[in-house]
Amino acid sequence: MKKFLQTNEFIFLFSTVLLLAVSCKTQFRSTTPKEDLYIKITPTDIEKENYTSPSLKKFIQRNEGCSVVVRDTEAAKGEGISGNSESSNLCLLLEEALMKEGYNVRDRVIFESVIEKMGEIVSYEQLSQKTGTDLIFEITLKGEKYSVSEYYIGANGTQTKGFTYKKEIGKTSKGYPIYDNYAPISYTLSGYSVTIKIIMLRDNKIAGMHTYYYTPCDKTEGGCKIALLKSDQNPLLRYYEKDRIPEAERDLSDRVSQKNENKNKELISFLQRVISKMMSDIKK
């Protein structure tokens, strides 16, 4: 009988402890908020290095409606003057902006054809005489890489935490793998830079140089929210900007389509800002 009571007492005590443990665990889960994680990259700023010569400003002021041509450096390398390339899209946007500003925009296809016929050794002055062009806006669009090794906790948070993954660092005596769950890792995100070189053909000189950067997950614009962060032997990071649909809510084909569409929208928006800023800088 005494043994039976001891057994019952043990069962009761064990059940009580188990209930308390479950209760505490449930309470912990419900009261711990799930915080959003963000990538925030400080944008590259070389605005102070951008330059427009006094002679170019004076020329533009005195020659309203001067003739200009937009030159794609990729086309100059023989990679095609027209098409759907990003640099070609930039040329089209710049041509449109220049026309709205009252410039006489020349056909760049014809301009490149004239250069080809004139041969390799040709001066800017000769080009001006042959094509009737005053200014060249020469564009270089380049991909930029940004290394990210930490993320921010909360949309407005200042606390950061480094990215880590599960790295195998050795084996036990029985051959089982030993992992370091806090091995640091960095991710590479893609951006752009646009350089627009302005050449005065008659004076045979470079009269302006403007470079602008598109920074992914721009800190000044709130950064990008992390959609998926996986820390194992194959580290994976997925992120989306504030106006994007989270990747986890779409199937693969939709994700690819949405990603390409967002990329084009971002690029066009960036190029429009670049052109507007450059036109403003030239007039200062």
Domain ranges (residues) in the chain: 34-283
pLDDT of 116 reads 83
pLDDT of 235 reads 59
Contacts of 170 (CB under 8 A, 6+ apart): 177, 178
Report for 44-48, 83-87, 159-163, 246-250: range of highest mean pLDDT: 159-163
How much of the chain exceeds pLDDT 70, in percent? Answer: 71
Helix orientation angle between 54-62 and 252-283, rounded to the nearest 10 degrees = 90
Average pLDDT over residues 68-88: 65
Question: What integer best gives the mean pLDDT of the chain?
Answer: 76
Q: How far apart are CA 157 and CA 75, in angstroms?
A: 45
Q: How many CA atoms lie within 13 A of 131 on its CB side?
A: 32
Contacts of 205 (CB under 8 A, 6+ apart): 53, 124, 199
Please identify which residue in the block is written with the tokens 């925009």. 105
pLDDT of 22 reads 32
Please identify which residue in the block is written with the tokens 């290394």. 147
Say whether pLDDT at 59 is over 60: yes
Which residue, among 214, 213, 209, has the nearest Cα to 282 in the 3D structure? 209
Which residue, among 146, 187, 147, has the nearest Cα to 165 in the 3D structure? 187
The better pLDDT of the pair 74, 142 is held by 142
pLDDT digits (tens, 9 = 90+) for 160-216: 998 888 888 899 999 998 988 888 888 888 888 889 999 999 998 999 999 989 898
Q: How far apart are CA 183 and CA 1, in angstroms?
A: 58
pLDDT of 231 reads 61
